[in-house]
Amino acid sequence: MTNVFKTPKELNEPLIYRIRAGLILLGSATKAELSQRLGISFPTISKFIAQMEKDGEIRYTGDDDSSGGRRAKRYTYDPEFMLGLAIFIEKNETNYSIFNCLGQVKEQGTKPSVIQQDAQMLGDLIETLIEKYPRLRSIAIGVPGAVDNGKIIFIPPYQQYFNYDLKGEFESKFQIPVVVENDMNASVLGYASNYEIENESLIYLYFGQNGPGSGIMINGDVVRGSTFFSGEISFVPQYDNRTFLQALQNGGSNHRMLLAEDNQIDAIARLIATFTAIINPRTVVFCDDEVDEVLLNKIVDRSSAYIPQEHLPQLMRSNWREDYLAGLQNLALNLMITDS
């Protein structure tokens, strides 16, 4: 008999979650295959499969070839049974994606920014999408600020969202599970997912529409910190009396800065040296519309003035919006699967 190892977390998860995830992961399965893969008894699997088939969550797709006994029935998960919404709000735009439980995108679009207004405008947009897609079962919202369990605790300069419980408000309003995540935490999660990176340490840097931020992943886990404030690199002190943000601004106040000056390159190099000395990540990812290969080479050269080159991370470029939405989509998919 195959010995199936289960972590304590997996043992505590409701069985329906594990069966749902197993079917989606496998594509199709028999009851015996699910029982062996998940370490759940055959009678228990049979009971859940019967209910899920009755609810329309799974489909019977035919019998396997006989090996001497009764032919086993094979089932697949209906990818359209549940849909998810990933949506992120930025200074100049609101991006969203509707997808099924296999992650296949059904609609993707960009709307005017809602962050300059209050949450009512965001709620109106979500309500319109729910009316269009009544099978929506989870919502992931990305925001340019620090988030503590769905409550926005730091989001300058958008004070109308400060200390706003976006998760609680929207779950009450729509009766759909909601997860709210910091933009850069979602981005580093999405990058790791897009490139199938596991158990690595990554930093995702974005200089962005609202000032610089970073997503930090250590050994495959996103680091949010004891007060959910990790990644707020604007505050990192540099040059005696200037922060990282002030060093990048180079005397100006425009957050969407052009990274071309020597002192800006030096500020980024110092930040990378700091991350290297403390975390020693394998990769630092930059937004591909903020840096080019020439600039990355300059940053590498300058970083080696502070840290021996053999310890420096790889510097990579990626599409931030795609990574951001992919990270939110992952969060919504996890929420969808664990919504009984």
The predicted pLDDT at position 116 comes to 82
Q: DSSP strand E in the chain: where?
A: 28-30, 58-63, 73-77, 83-89, 94-100, 105-111, 136-143, 146-148, 151-154, 164-165, 178-182, 202-206, 213-218, 221-222, 237-238, 242-243, 283-287, 314-318
The predicted pLDDT at position 10 comes to 44
Secondary structure letter of residue 210 according to DSSP: T
Q: Are 234 and 213 in contact (CB under 8 A)?
A: yes
- Mean pLDDT, range 176-195, rounded to an integer: 96
Q: What confidence category does residue 118 fall into, taking pLDDT thresholds of 50, 70 and 90?
A: confident
More confident: 97 or 208:
97
- Mean pLDDT, range 14-18, rounded to an integer: 88
Kindly state the tokens that stand for 128: 């319109």
Q: Are 267 and 243 in contact (CB under 8 A)?
A: no
The predicted pLDDT at position 9 comes to 41
Other CB atoms within 10 Å distance of the CB of residue 61? 10
Contacts of 115 (CB under 8 A, 6+ apart): 89, 90, 91, 94, 143, 144, 158, 161
- Mean pLDDT, range 159-188, rounded to an integer: 95
Q: Is the pLDDT of residue 68 over 70?
A: no
Mean pLDDT over the full length of the chain? 90
> If we measure between CA atoms, which residue out of 188, 199, 180, 276 comes closest to residue 231?
188
Q: Is the pLDDT of residue 178 over 60?
A: yes
The pLDDT tens digits for 322-333 are 999 999 999 999
Q: What confidence category does residue 217 fall into, taking pLDDT thresholds of 50, 70 and 90?
A: very high
Q: What is the pTM of this model?
A: 0.88
d(CA 300, CA 283) in angstroms, rounded, equals: 12
d(CA 178, CA 150) in angstroms, rounded, equals: 8
**Residues across the chain:** 340
Q: Find tokens 């995540």 and name the residue.
A: 181
Q: Is the pLDDT of residue 2 over 50?
A: no
The pLDDT tens digits for 191-200 are 999 999 999 9
Q: Is the pLDDT of residue 257 over 90?
A: no
Q: Is the pLDDT of residue 7 over 50?
A: no
The predicted pLDDT at position 11 comes to 41
Percent of the residues in the chain that have a pLDDT greater than 70, as a whole number: 92
